[in-house]
Amino acid sequence: MILSVSRRTDVPSYYSEWFYNRIKEGFLYVRNPMNPHQVSRIDLSPEVVDCIVFWTKNPYPMLERLGELSAYQYYFQFTLTGYGKDIECNVPHKKEEMLPIFQRLSREIGARRVIWRYDPILFNGTYSPEYHLKAFGQIAAALKGYTEKCVISFVDEYAKNRKSLESLKAYNLSDKELREFVRKLHDIATENGMKLVSCAEALDLQDCGAEHGSCIDRELIEELIGCKLKVSKDKGQRPECGCVESVEVGTYNTCKNGCKYCYANHSPESVAENCKKYDVNSPLLCGAVTEGDVVTVRKVKTLKEGQISLF
């Protein structure tokens, strides 16, 4: 089993104590967002967890306790962009705080296991293509030697973020402009020793230097664990997504980063209400089992085909 922590919320930044407690206890609960009374019990023993993929804008709260993950293989998807607090409201200062944290994490676990995400990219009067290229270049230079890969994507409109994007007066580039923009990102990434890949983009950007990427990356995970995986493409994601199957542990409407492009939160009010339910000792993130809930043990197992090292 591959554990996704998490597409729905920033667990490392806001709920790391809960997650470490769950690792210690050896299990957690996940509520089905489509059927709220359906709760799954997920085994977290190292024997069935092949790899943990963390998604975050700030892993700092986890850093002092990474030793507690010594029985697991894991890597981080670390989002670091050029946006200010008008877009990413609660993310700490990028140059003063987040760049040093990225560098520290890379020194501790290795550049291969810290993937830089410059996404999602949106364009408006403030954040023009020229702005992004300058910001991307500055961040790439600071991260040279600290990561091997950069993931990009362009902002998608959903019902949950439509009003925010309209208020930001976001606009799209033409196909020609977008391709030229990506070529420039590729050149900058290459200059700084990084491979540029795209995330769930319908537009084929390979001729611009950005291959289709996989955030839950079979190739990387097989390298980390030293053997092949028997795993399929994740059918629950968009058709353009290259990720393999994983078990998601997060909860919607709990991320406190306050990003204007977010699709995982209904509103700041819903986040505030859910965060009141946060209990570091609860098996559920921001919640508890209530009357009418049905807890079912989810059948999980290792995806390893064998123990013979590939390397």
Q: State residue 311's pLDDT score.
A: 41
Cα separation, 111 vs 107, in Å, equals 7
For residue 145, give Cα distances in angstroms to 151, 209, 299: 16, 20, 40
Residue 149 within a domain: yes
Residue 306 within a domain: no
Estimate to the nearest angstrom the gap between the alpha carbon of 131 and the chain centroid. Answer: 24
Q: State residue 84's pLDDT score.
A: 96
Q: State residue 228's pLDDT score.
A: 96
Domain that holds residue 232: 2-297
pLDDT by residue for the chain (311 residues), tens only, comes to 999 999 999 999 999 999 999 999 999 999 999 999 999 999 999 999 999 999 999 999 999 999 999 999 999 999 999 999 999 999 999 999 999 999 999 999 999 999 999 999 999 999 999 999 999 999 999 999 999 999 999 988 777 778 888 889 999 999 999 999 999 999 999 999 999 999 988 788 989 989 898 999 999 999 999 999 999 998 888 777 889 999 999 999 999 999 999 988 989 999 999 999 999 999 999 999 999 999 999 999 999 986 544 44
How confident is the model over 145-178, as pLDDT tens digits?
999 999 999 988 777 778 888 889 999 999 999 9
Residue 302 within a domain: no
Cα separation, 213 vs 195, in Å, equals 10
Q: Interhelix angle for 129-143 vs 99-109, to 10°? A: 40
Residue 260 corresponds to which tokens in the numbers above?
């204007």
Closest CA to 51 of 227, 240, 241: 227
Residue 120 within a domain: yes
Q: Is 52 helix (H, G, I), strand (E, B) or coil?
A: strand
**Residue 266 main-chain phi, psi, to 5 deg:** -70, -45
Residue 308 within a domain: no
Q: Is 114 helix (H, G, I), strand (E, B) or coil?
A: strand
**What is the pairing mode between strands 114-121 and 247-248?**
unpaired
The type of residue at 223 is E
Number of domains in the chain: 1
**Residue 133 main-chain phi, psi, to 5 deg:** -65, -40
Q: State residue 310's pLDDT score.
A: 45
